[in-house]
Structure 1
Amino acid sequence: MTLFKIDEVRKTFRNGEIDEEILKGIDLSLNEGEITALVGASGSGKSTLLTIAAGLQPASDGHVIFEGKNMSIMNSEEVRKVRASEFGFVFQFAHLVSFLTVEEQLLLMLDVSESKLKKQEQKNEVNRILKLVGMDHRKMAYPSSLSGGEKQRIAIARAIIHKPKVLFADEPTASLDSQRSKEVMLLIRDLTKTLNITTLMVTHDEEMLAYTDRIIKMSDGVILQDAIYLD
């Protein structure tokens, strides 16, 4: 089932006296329970496309449609509410809050997403998600005591704690070694399937493509190739 649709999206930036078109009319549909990878050289437009799809910046033209609702005509507060309640985000670095424990990181995300769960229900949900990502034994730890792979697992737990329908991952393994990268991608793949999330990921690491369902290759602001992954 199609959950997300990008329709003729364009993005232009002002570079001195010249308008530079970064995205040149992108059409893309994303399905539930699938991991789609955006690949391409630096400057191809993949990260720009991800941030526009995620509502982090507006398109210059075109439409971003989520569950049949046109985010491109929403005001900033409406877009913020969609981001907070329906989207999850994982980036190259975990960006954990240094003075909060692992448990507190996830409870904060529930507050941001305006969770209607009661206090004890929130703590129960935190325990459930931490077990899901294999980090329940580190619940009371602070970020300074976590390894890079552990921090990224916590970042993933934080991204899904409020049960988002879409997960946006921008170079989620770029700061990890080969083994930790594989572990994180296995986790993202398993969570995508188990929770029926729509995952859109930007990556430079070709080895990570083996964990995706679909690969979209971009160059100079256009899609060159859109293919189902074949091992």
Structure 2
Amino acid sequence: MAVFVIENVEKTFKVGEVVERVLKGASLTLEQGQVTALVGTSGSGKSTLLTIAAGLQQATDGNVIFNGYNLKNMSHEQIRQVRAKEFGFIFQFAHLVPFLNVEEQLKLMLEVAESKMSNKEQQEEVDQMLELVGMTHRKEAYPPSLSGGEKQRIAIARALIHKPKVLFADEPTASLDSKRSQDVMALIRHLTKTLGVTTLMVTHDEEMLAFADRVVKMSDGVILQDE
């Protein structure tokens, strides 16, 4: 089932008198339960396409349709609510709150998503998610005491604790060594399948493509290959 439909998206930036076309009519359909990897050289437009799909910036032209709703017809507040409730985000660095322990990181995300669950239900969700990412034994730990791989596992748990429909991952393994990168990608793939999430990932690491269902190659603002 198609969750995202990106149609003929254009993105231009004006620097002085120069107009730069970063995206040139990019189109992409994202299916539920799939990991789609966006690849390409620096400046190819892959991160711009991801941030437009995630509602973090607007397209100059074209449509981004999520669950049948066109983001360009939504107000800033409506888009903010979609991001908070329906989207999850993982970045190159975990960006954990330094003064919150692991358990509190996840509970904070439930607050941001305006969860209607009771405190007991929230605790059950947190415990279940920590078990899924193999971090139950570290639930009282604070970020400074976590390894890089552990921090990314918590970042994944935080991104998925509110059961979003879409997970956006921008270079999620770039700060990790090869072994930890594979562990993190295996976890992202496993949770995508287990929870029925739609995952869109930007990566430059070709080894990580083995964990994707689709690989979309971009160059100079256009999609060259989709397989």
Into which bin does the TM-score normalised by the smaller protein fall? over 0.9
| Structure 1 portions without partners, runs of 5+ | none
Question: What is the CA–CA distance in structure 2 between the aligned matches of 1:19 and 1:137, rounded to whole Å?
Answer: 52
Instruction: State the secondary structure of the residue aligned to 1:24.
Output: strand
For residue 219 of structure 1, what is the aligned residue in structure 2? 219
Q: Write the mapping of 1:180-191 to structure 2, written as runs, cut at 5 A.
A: 180-191=180-191
For residue 5 of structure 1, what is the aligned residue in structure 2? 5
Deviations 1:91-129 (A, max 9, x none): 000000000000110000000000000111111110000
Deviation at 1:60, TM superposition (A): 0.6
Q: Which deviates the most, 151-160 or 69-78?
A: 69-78
For residue 56 of structure 2, what is the aligned residue in structure 1? 56
Aligned alpha-carbon RMSD (Å): 0.5
Q: Which amino acid aligns with 1:137?
A: H
The answer to whether structure 1 residue 89 and structure 2 residue 89 are counterparts is: yes
For residue 208 of structure 1, what is the aligned residue in structure 2? 208
Deviations 1:53-81 (A, max 9, x none): 00000111111100111111101000000
For residue 121 of structure 1, what is the aligned residue in structure 2? 121
Q: Which amino acid aligns with 2:164?
A: P
Give the aligned length: 227
> Alignment identity in percent?
71
Question: What is the CA–CA distance in structure 2 between the aligned matches of 1:15 and 1:178, rounded to whole Å?
Answer: 38
Normalised TM-score (structure 1)? 0.98
Deviation at 1:15, TM superposition (A): 1.7
The answer to whether structure 1 residue 107 and structure 2 residue 117 are counterparts is: no
Question: What is the CA–CA distance in structure 2 between the aligned matches of 1:165 and 1:137, rounded to whole Å?
Answer: 28
Instruction: State the secondary structure of the residue aligned to 1:4.
Output: strand
Question: What is the CA–CA distance in structure 2 between the aligned matches of 1:56 and 1:140, rounded to whole Å?
Answer: 32
Instruction: State the secondary structure of the residue aligned to 1:29.
Output: strand
The answer to whether structure 1 residue 72 and structure 2 residue 33 are counterparts is: no
Instruction: State the secondary structure of the residue aligned to 2:156.
Output: helix
For residue 153 of structure 1, what is the aligned residue in structure 2? 153
Instruction: State the secondary structure of the residue aligned to 1:21.
Output: strand
| Structure 2 portions without partners, runs of 5+ | none
Normalised TM-score (structure 2)? 0.99
Question: What is the CA–CA distance in structure 2 between the aligned matches of 1:199 and 1:103, rounded to whole Å?
Answer: 24
Question: What is the CA–CA distance in structure 1 between the aligned matches of 2:180 and 2:11, rounded to whole Å?
Answer: 34
Deviation at 1:16, TM superposition (A): 2.1
The answer to whether structure 1 residue 197 and structure 2 residue 192 are counterparts is: no
For residue 29 of structure 2, what is the aligned residue in structure 1? 29
Question: What is the CA–CA distance in structure 1 between the aligned matches of 2:152 and 2:30, rounded to whole Å?
Answer: 24
